[in-house]
Structure 1
Amino acid sequence: MQAKIDQLLAAFDKVVKEPWSTVLSGQERVWFLVYDPAEQRKVELRLGDFETYTLKAGKQWRSISLKQCFPAWMTQHDYQEEYFANPEYIVDQLEAEFIPFAIQFLRKELRKLDQDQHTLVAIKDVSALFGFARLSEVLKGCEKDFSGRMLIFFPGEFQHNQYRLLDARDGWSYLARPITV
């Protein structure tokens, strides 16, 4: 029997080889590679294989990590010491300040890339936003900032057209294409 990560790679390989339509909206050009959060390390160890399949399909591969998004916001914040002392005070700032910051963070990273309609932008470490911002809000704010496809490495679940990050939050419906096993 094939390991889950190998099944996920095979499913990805089929999708990346398909012709890419140029008439889709930004949300429709997003792919969610959905896997069990317990498989996170295995997926990370095989990132190079995803890149290899992308290149073999004649597409470009670029990647962005969201791991530094929250630390970048917090280090520039005037009240960081107070938030570390009393974390409950940060809740109001997350919606008002962090979500727009996260959108700008990703937009800035996307603009740095050499990309065209044949580029797959892989977004890693989306779980770094968990508890601070909804991934759906961040992605909606960036849907015009990439040309080809965006691949979200998504530790969670997809059921009944609903995505749930880390299986913990209420799901949201999104026009993205799921890649699952």
Structure 2
Amino acid sequence: MIAKIDQLIQEFDKVVNEPFNATLSGQERIWFLVYDPAEQRKVSLRMGEFETSTLRAGKKWQAISLKDCFPEWMSNHDYRDAYFTNPEYIVDQLEAEFIPFAIQFLKKKLESIEQDSDTLIAILDVSSLFGFARLSEILKNCDRDFKGRLLIFFPGEFENNQYRLLDARDGWDYLARPITI
């Protein structure tokens, strides 16, 4: 029997080899590579195969990690010490300050990389935002900031046209294309 990660790479390979349609909206040019959160380590270890598949398809590969987004925001916050003492105080700040910060964080990363309509930008470590911000909120504010495709490595599930990050939060509808096994 073929391993789940191998099946996921095969499905991705089929999709990345299709021509990139330039007439799609930003939301339609986002791909969600959906996998079981328990497979995260295997996906991370095989990341090079996704890049190789992209390059073999004649596309360009770029990667952006969201792992440093929250730590960067928190390290520069005036009340960070108080938040560590009383974490419940941070809740109001997440909506008012962190979400706009996360949107700008991703926008800056997208602006800083060389890209064209044949570029696939892999967004890694989206689970690092879990509990702090909704990925859907960030993506809907960045869907005009890339030229090719945005590939979200998504540890969660896709069912009935609903995406659920880490299987723990209410899902959301999105026009993105799911890549699943």
- 1:6 corresponds to: 6
Q: Secondary structure at the match of 1:104?
A: helix
**Partner AA of 1:24 in structure 2:** L
The count of corresponding residues between Structure 1 and Structure 2 is 181
Gaps in structure 1 of 5+ consecutive residues: none
Q: Secondary structure at the match of 1:94?
A: helix
2-side partners of 1:86 and 1:178: how far apart?
39
1:148 has 2:148 as partner: yes
**Partner AA of 2:115 in structure 1:** Q
- 2:62 corresponds to: 62
Q: Deviations over 1:137-177 (max 9, x none)?
A: 00011111100000000000000000000000000000000
**Partner AA of 2:156 in structure 1:** G
1-side partners of 2:16 and 2:90: how far apart?
40
Gaps in structure 2 of 5+ consecutive residues: none
Q: How does 1:94-133 map to 2 (within 5 A)?
A: 94-133=94-133
- 1:39 corresponds to: 39
2-side partners of 1:128 and 1:165: how far apart?
11
**Partner AA of 2:161 in structure 1:** N
Q: Secondary structure at the match of 1:163?
A: strand
State the 4+ residue runs in structure 1 displaced beyond 3 angstroms.
Answer: none
The Cα of 1:70 is off from its aligned counterpart by 0.1
- 1:174 corresponds to: 174
1-side partners of 2:25 and 2:113: how far apart?
20
The Cα of 1:43 is off from its aligned counterpart by 0.1
Q: Deviations over 1:92-149 (max 9, x none)?
A: 0000000000000000000010000000000000000000000000001111110000
Q: Secondary structure at the match of 2:33?
A: strand
TM value normalised by structure 1: 1.00
Among the aligned pairs, what percent are the same residue?
74
Q: Secondary structure at the match of 2:143?
A: coil
1-side partners of 2:96 and 2:28: how far apart?
27
- 2:134 corresponds to: 134
TM value normalised by structure 2: 1.00
1-side partners of 2:86 and 2:100: how far apart?
22
Q: Deviations over 1:31-88 (max 9, x none)?
A: 0000000000000000000000000000000000000000000011000000000000
1-side partners of 2:118 and 2:68: how far apart?
27
Q: How does 1:158-173 map to 2 (within 5 A)?
A: 158-173=158-173
